[in-house]
Structure 1
Amino acid sequence: MKKSLIAIAVLAATSSAAFAQSNVTIYGILDAGITSERGGSTGNVTKVTSGAASASRIGFKGTEDLGGGLSAIFKLETGVKVDDGTLDNTTSTLFNREAYVGLSSKTAGTLTLGRQYTPYYETLRDVGDPFAMGYAGTAKNLFPVAAYMTRNSNAVVYKTPNLEGFTGAVSYSLGETAGDASAARQVGGSLGYSNGPLNVAAAYNMKNNDTATVKTTGVGHNSLIAANYDFQVVKLYGAFSSDKGLGSAPINGTSTATATTSFYGYTFAPSQNSSDALIGLTAPAGNGTVMASYIRKNDKEAANRDADQWAIGYNYALSKRTSTYVAYAKIKNKNGAGYTVGNNTEAGSGDKAFNLGLKHSF
């Protein structure tokens, strides 16, 4: 931990002259508030939490003009917990959120290598979810975006430039398993179109769950379509995901394809055949924005462990960089399902949760 903090301090203390050579920016988000979770198997809990609306973080990003419209780019971003000052991951990985370097061309697109978001996650966050993956109403609670569905390590990502409103992305994450190039491999892609008030996108993700010692364990496939349309007085959202195969629906808060969780004394396992549907909206209200959504998890296995989530929230802008927020969500689990209401950073412990917080960006 000390080495991690020293590394951040050294990087932040680099001279402004050196920063100027490569146009480096230091940025971050500090998000803290009160979260009250109800309906958990171990009882209710109220706590000071970090990153309910947006994960708290500090990052470094930069560009260097190479001429001819080509630039070198990089990004290093680490998650922090404002409530206690620690890193927000259990592995003590310094730059656990993103770490990549690449080249960007105004006409040819961008190619990056390192730890990065999956096209599936970015499509749901930017196009389909009115809560933008944050607050108690986050789509993370029911949509399959846990663990490797959020970010990939060892990834090569290409993103096209904007071509008459069309954009695309392709991601290939190497499994790096000796003797087996397909084991642990992950492939994803997305295609989007934006024109005026309309924004629509489709995404795909494939994860091979083989390891160096266990083969033919199965492949997970996810297909997503998302859209939003801005009517000015209200912005409507919709998303639908089809999830098939082992690891296609990791449970929020778990880290592997087969990880289970316990809820009221029984084991809740991830589905291998399910779909997710979302409808929602945002609407301007005073100096803020109202957010609302309904999500349906349809488990197509024999157990039929379905779930429904209703959510509402309000974000009020105190300035361009500072806002306060309130949000509430409730999940109705069926036939032994054990989904919980979390937020941007946490998986939650119960079937209901309330957030009240403050966020500052710099």
Structure 2
Amino acid sequence: MKTSVIAAAALLALSGMTHAQTSVSIYGIVDAGLVRESGGPDGNVTGLGGGVASGSRLGFRGKEDLGGGLSANFLLENGFNSDNGTLGQGGLLFGRQMYVGLSGNFGAVRMGRQYSPYYLALRDIADPFAAGLAGRAGNVMATNTRVNNMINYQTPKFGGFFADLAYGLGEIAGDAQKSRTIGAAIGYEQGPAAIKLAHHQLNNATATDRTKNTLLAARYKFSLAEGSIGYAVNKGLGAADSRDFILGVSVPFGPNRLLGSYIRHDDRTAMNRDAHQWAIGYFYGLSKRTDLYVAYARIGNDNGADFKVGNATDTGTGDKAFNLGVRHTF
């Protein structure tokens, strides 16, 4: 009996130590809003979007202390459509992100389905709409959002400077270059200033051609507002060639924010299919976790260009869109 009590106490102590060294958190966003789209070939469309300002999601984030400053990390993030309960990202269980890795004084290494360095530069620095609402930069600009089979290394910050390197395996037998993705970013972020230079390259399935996107993005927080700017050079499959310019502003009013942006797409090919987008949005904070939002964006397409106004989870049907909804984070 005495031996059993001692064994049970030892197990409880070990369990307490393990719990103290390992943490798992559950988080998420539930977003739903009214979406009114117009200017499309099939006329006006009104519907309920299941992720307008932010894609609705349920995530699990974990970290285990391995000692000596080394930690194991994982993230499982499921995307879903709150309007009808279906899975997002084409029905993938953890389609938003899914990775496992190690972190320490050397930085962090992660493996799995992850955001590209290019996308993070666009979302976090250049785009005041943070890839959501009708004003998202992805309506007109390349986003290169996620990469499968990606090995990612992020350096620690040195005086505000850092680097982010990514390699996505194409996993095609006989040629490692087929469908391969290469990404990288270098940046500086300290105090009110942030700047990042990012590059993304994707080979096609035969490795005979590739798309290349390079973005220089900068953001500065002034006393009354935050301004952002970005310039992208795009080389696509075949002879595709374009330049993108984005100018954004975010003005806080206590828990509320006013957003605005202008994007110019300059097509350098003979077709000259230019476009520009104007957008405005507003978040009204009901609490730290819940806000109401409203947004409007309009695209002007030239010479047969066919860009559409979407939102965080919808590619859109026309060249104008209005959003009105609610978002809750937990």
**How does the TM-score come out when normalised to structure 2?**
0.93
Q: Cα distance, 1:317 vs. partner?
A: 1.1
Is the alpha carbon distance of 1:18 and 1:317 closer, same or farther for their aligned partners in structure 2, counting shifts above 3 Å? farther
Contact map agreement 2:242 2:265 (CA 8 A) in 1? yes
Q: Cα distance, 1:22 vs. partner?
A: 2.8
What letter corresponds to residue 153 of structure 1 in structure 2? Answer: N
Q: Cα distance, 1:245 vs. partner?
A: 3.0
Q: Tell me, yes or no, if structure 1 residue 93 matches structure 2 residue 92.
A: yes
Report the Cα distance in structure 2 between the residues aligned to 1:66 and 1:45, rounded to whole angstroms: 53
What letter corresponds to residue 335 of structure 1 in structure 2? Answer: N
1:19-38 correspondence runs (5 A)? 22-38=22-38
What letter corresponds to residue 361 of structure 1 in structure 2? Answer: T
What letter corresponds to residue 36 of structure 1 in structure 2? Answer: R
Q: What's 1:102 paired with?
A: 101
What letter corresponds to residue 164 of structure 1 in structure 2? Answer: G
Q: Secondary structure at the match of 1:23?
A: strand
Is the alpha carbon distance of 1:286 and 1:64 closer, same or farther for their aligned partners in structure 2, counting shifts above 3 Å? closer
Q: What's 1:192 paired with?
A: 187
Q: Cα distance, 1:275 vs. partner?
A: 0.9
Q: Secondary structure at the match of 2:276?
A: strand
Q: What's 1:11 paired with?
A: none
Q: What's 2:8 paired with?
A: none
Q: Tell me, yes or no, if structure 1 residue 240 matches structure 2 residue 231.
A: yes
Q: Tell me, yes or no, if structure 1 residue 183 matches structure 2 residue 174.
A: no
Q: What's 1:62 paired with?
A: 62
Q: Tell me, yes or no, if structure 1 residue 304 matches structure 2 residue 299.
A: no
1:66-215 correspondence runs (5 A)? 66-90=66-90, 92-105=91-104, 107-145=105-143, 149-209=144-204, 211=205, 214=206
Of the two, which has the highest radius of gyration?
2
Of 207, 218, 221, the match for 1:230: 221
Q: Cα distance, 1:34 vs. partner?
A: 0.4
Report the Cα distance in structure 2 between the residues aligned to 1:125 and 1:96, rounded to whole angstroms: 18
What letter corresponds to residue 101 of structure 1 in structure 2? Answer: V
Is the alpha carbon distance of 1:230 and 1:21 closer, same or farther for their aligned partners in structure 2, counting shifts above 3 Å? closer
Contact map agreement 2:177 2:207 (CA 8 A) in 1? no
Q: Secondary structure at the match of 1:126?
A: helix
Q: Percent identity?
A: 50
Q: Secondary structure at the match of 1:54?
A: coil
Is the alpha carbon distance of 1:331 and 1:69 closer, same or farther for their aligned partners in structure 2, counting shifts above 3 Å? same
Q: Choose 51-60 or 283-292, whichever is displaced more.
A: 283-292
Q: What's 2:5 paired with?
A: none
Q: Cα distance, 1:221 vs. partner?
A: 1.2
What letter corresponds to residue 42 of structure 2 in structure 1? Answer: T
Q: Cα distance, 1:52 vs. partner?
A: 0.7
Q: Cα distance, 1:17 vs. partner?
A: 11
Of 241, 266, 272, the match for 1:273: 241
What CA deviation, in whole Å up to 9, does each residue of 1:310-362 have, x standing for no partner? Answer: 00000111111111100000000000000000001110000000000100001
What letter corresponds to residue 269 of structure 2 in structure 1? Answer: E
Q: What's 2:295 paired with?
A: 327
Report the Cα distance in structure 2 between the residues aligned to 1:354 and 1:19, rounded to whole angstroms: 47
Report the Cα distance in structure 2 between the residues aligned to 1:288 and 1:245, rounded to whole angstroms: 39
Structure 1 unaligned segments of length 5 or more: list them: 1-15, 248-270
What CA deviation, in whole Å up to 9, does each residue of 1:44-75 have, x standing for no partner? Answer: 01111111101000011100000011100000
Contact map agreement 2:297 2:322 (CA 8 A) in 1? yes
Q: Cα distance, 1:89 vs. partner?
A: 3.0
Q: Cα distance, 1:284 vs. partner?
A: 1.3
Report the Cα distance in structure 2 between the residues aligned to 1:128 and 1:323, rounded to whole angstroms: 23
Structure 2 unaligned segments of length 5 or more: list them: 1-15
What letter corresponds to residue 343 of structure 1 in structure 2? Answer: N
Report the Cα distance in structure 1 between the residues aligned to 2:240 and 2:203, rounded to whole angstroms: 14
Q: Secondary structure at the match of 2:108?
A: strand
Q: Which runs of 4+ in 1 moved over 6 A?
A: 16-21
Q: Cα distance, 1:220 vs. partner?
A: 1.3
Is the alpha carbon distance of 1:304 and 1:19 closer, same or farther for their aligned partners in structure 2, counting shifts above 3 Å? farther
Q: Cα distance, 1:195 vs. partner?
A: 2.4
Is the alpha carbon distance of 1:318 and 1:139 closer, same or farther for their aligned partners in structure 2, counting shifts above 3 Å? same
**How does the TM-score come out when normalised to structure 1?**
0.85
Q: What's 1:221 paired with?
A: 212
